[in-house]
C-alpha cells in the first residue's frame, strides 16, 4: 500500500461529513480533486470504503474502521509537529474554547494578538448556546469557556473581560419611540427571542416576568445574527446584546428604545474548571489576557461607551 497522509486526511473528512462536497469546502480543495484522491485511496483496498445510494454517499463499516485509524494516525502526526516546535523553543499545541454565541463578536479580538505571537498554536473554537457551552466545560472537553453568566453548579476560575449589555432594539421602520407605552412594546409588538438554553433568552424572560408583561406574539430563532436580521426586516423587536449591532446602529437601520430597567448588564468572562491542570498554552493565554485585555478593549470596543 502506498497511500499518503493527504489521502488519509481527505478520507477522514469525507467519513466525518458524509459528503465529498462538504469535505472539499472544509479542506479548501476543489470537488474533483477530492474525488480523485478518494478514488486513488480506494484503489489500494479490495473492500469498498464508500457506496452511493441514490445521490447520498455512505461510508461502509470497513470504511469507518479505516477512518477511525486515519484519525489516530493524523493525531500522532500532529503531535510530532507540536513536539518539533516545542524542541525549537516555540509554544505549540491546541487551544480549545467554547463560546456562547454572542461571544463570537468578542473572543476573536482577545485571541488575534496571542495567535500572532505564537504561530505554533492551533485554535479550536466552538460557538453555541450557553447551556451547551457549560456542558462542554463540565465534561472537561475544552480548555476555556466564554460566558456572560457564570455557571452556578461549577467551581471555576475566571478572567473578567468586558461588559455585555442588553437593550430593547427595534428596526428603523417600526413606529416606536421613548413615548410608546412600555406595555405596548411587549404586549402588542411581536417579540423575537433566542432558543431555550440561551443566556440572552433567559435574561429577556426574567426581565419580562419581573414586570408581569404578557407577551402574546413571539418568534424563536437560534442565533443572535438571525434575531438581528429579523428585527431589521421589521418582524418584531427584541432585547439583545449591543455588541453585535455596531454597524446597524451607526447606519440607523436599528434603534435602541429606552425602557426602564434596561440595559441588562453582565460581563463576558473567560472561565475554566478550578480542578483543571492548564496546559502551558492555556497558562500563557491567561497571562496574555491579564496583561493585554485593557488595551484590547480600548482599541476595539470603545464604541460601546
Residues 155 and 170 in one domain: no
Taking residues 207-229, report their average pLDDT: 87
Residues 129 and 245 in one domain: no
* Res. 169: pLDDT tops 80: yes
* pLDDT averaged over every residue in the chain: 89
* Res. 294: pLDDT tops 70: yes
CA dihedral 149, 160, 222, 96 (to 10 degrees): -120
- Kindly indicate the confidence band of residue 75, based on its pLDDT and cuts at 50, 70 and 90: confident
Question: Strand 56-59 relative to strand 50-53: parallel, antiparallel, unpaired?
Answer: antiparallel
What whole-number distance in Å separates Cα of residue 144 and Cα of residue 133?
A: 9
pLDDT digit string (tens) for 85-94? 666 666 778 8
Pick the residue with more confidence: 38 or 176? 38
**Under a CB-based contact definition with an 8 Å cutoff, are residues 235 and 219 in contact?**
yes
Taking residues 175-200, report their average pLDDT: 85
Residues 28 and 40 in one domain: yes
Residues 18 and 152 in one domain: no
- The domain tally of the chain equals 3
What phi and psi, each to the nearest 5 degrees, are found at residue 104?
A: -65, -20
What whole-number distance in Å separates Cα of residue 83 and Cα of residue 93?
A: 8
Best CA proximity match to 237, nearest among 261, 259, 206: 259
What whole-number distance in Å separates Cα of residue 52 and Cα of residue 59?
A: 9
Residues 154 and 285 in one domain: yes
**Under a CB-based contact definition with an 8 Å cutoff, are residues 184 and 264 in contact?**
no
pLDDT score recorded for residue 87: 64
pLDDT digit string (tens) for 100-147? 888 999 999 999 999 999 888 889 999 988 889 999 999 999 999 999
Taking residues 204-209, report their average pLDDT: 91
CATH of the domain at 122: 3.40.190.10
At which of 33, 62, 87 does a domain end? 87
At which of 36, 69, 87 does a domain end? 87
CATH of the domain at 30: 1.10.10.10
Dihedral sign from CA coordinates of 52, 58, 62, 66: positive
Buried b (16+ CB within 10 A) or exposed e, 40-68: ebbeeeeeebbeeeeeebebeeebeebbe
C-alpha grid cell, residue 205: 424572560
What whole-number distance in Å separates Cα of residue 102 and Cα of residue 186?
A: 23
Residues 183 and 261 in one domain: yes
Dihedral sign from CA coordinates of 246, 299, 134, 281: positive
Residues 141 and 226 in one domain: no
* Res. 56: pLDDT tops 70: yes
Residues 279 and 216 in one domain: no
pLDDT digit string (tens) for 264-282? 999 999 999 999 988 888 9
Best CA proximity match to 246, nearest among 106, 145, 99, 111: 106
Pick the residue with more confidence: 110 or 224? 110
Q: What is the residue range of 293's domain?
A: 93-162+267-304
Burial class (CB in 10 A: 0-12, 13-18, 19+), 192: buried
Residues 167 and 262 in one domain: yes
Helix (H) or strand (E) holding 200: helix 199-210
Please tell me the pTM assigned to this model. Answer: 0.69
Residues 43 and 191 in one domain: no
Residues 259 and 169 in one domain: yes
What whole-number distance in Å separates Cα of residue 72 and Cα of residue 78?
A: 10
Helix (H) or strand (E) holding 70: helix 61-87
Residues 57 and 206 in one domain: no
At which of 65, 87, 109 does a domain end? 87
Burial class (CB in 10 A: 0-12, 13-18, 19+), 280: exposed
Amino acid at each position: 500500500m502506498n497511500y499518503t497522509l493527504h489521502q488519509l486526511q481527505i478520507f477522514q473528512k469525507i467519513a466525518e461529513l458524509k459528503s465529498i462536497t462538504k469535505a472539499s469546502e472544509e479542506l479548501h480543495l476543489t470537488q474533483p480533486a477530492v474525488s480523485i484522491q478518494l478514488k486513488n485511496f480506494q484503489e489500494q483496498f479490495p473492500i469498498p470504503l464508500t457506496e452511493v445510494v441514490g445521490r447520498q454517499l455512505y461510508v461502509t463499516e470497513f470504511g469507518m474502521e479505516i477512518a477511525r485509524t486515519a484519525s489516530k494516525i493524523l493525531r500522532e502526526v500532529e503531535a510530532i509537529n507540536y513536539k518539533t516546535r516545542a524542541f525549537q523553543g516555540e509554544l505549540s499545541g491546541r487551544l480549545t474554547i467554547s463560546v456562547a454565541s454572542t461571544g463570537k463578536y468578542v473572543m476573536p479580538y482577545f485571541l488575534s494578538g496571542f495567535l500572532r505571537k505564537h504561530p505554533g498554536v492551533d485554535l479550536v473554537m466552538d460557538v453555541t448556546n450557553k447551556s451547551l457551552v457549560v456542558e462542554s466545560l463540565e465534561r472537561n472537553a475544552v480548555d476555556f469557556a466564554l460566558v456572560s453568566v457564570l455557571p452556578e453548579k461549577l467551581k471555576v476560575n475566571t478572567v473578567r473581560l468586558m461588559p455585555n449589555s442588553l437593550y430593547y432594539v427595534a428596526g428603523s421602520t417600526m413606529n416606536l419611540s421613548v413615548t410608546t407605552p412600555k406595555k405596548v412594546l411587549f404586549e402588542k409588538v411581536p417579540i423575537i427571542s433566542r432558543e431555550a438554553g440561551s443566556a440572552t433568552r433567559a435574561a429577556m424572560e426574567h426581565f419580562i416576568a419581573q414586570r408581569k408583561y404578557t407577551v402574546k406574539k413571539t418568534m424563536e430563532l437560534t442565533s443572535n445574527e438571525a434575531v438581528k436580521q429579523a428585527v431589521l426586516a421589521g418582524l418584531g423587536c427584541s432585547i439583545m446584546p449591543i455588541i453585535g449591532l455596531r454597524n446597524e446602529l451607526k447606519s440607523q437601520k436599528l434603534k435602541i428604545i429606552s425602557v426602564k430597567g434596561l440595559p441588562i448588564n453582565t460581563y463576558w468572562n473567560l472561565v475554566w474548571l478550578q480542578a483543571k491542570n492548564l496546559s502551558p498554552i492555556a497558562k500563557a493565554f491567561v497571562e496574555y489576557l491579564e496583561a493585554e485585555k485593557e488595551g484590547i478593549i480600548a482599541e476595539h470596543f470603545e464604541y460601546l461607551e
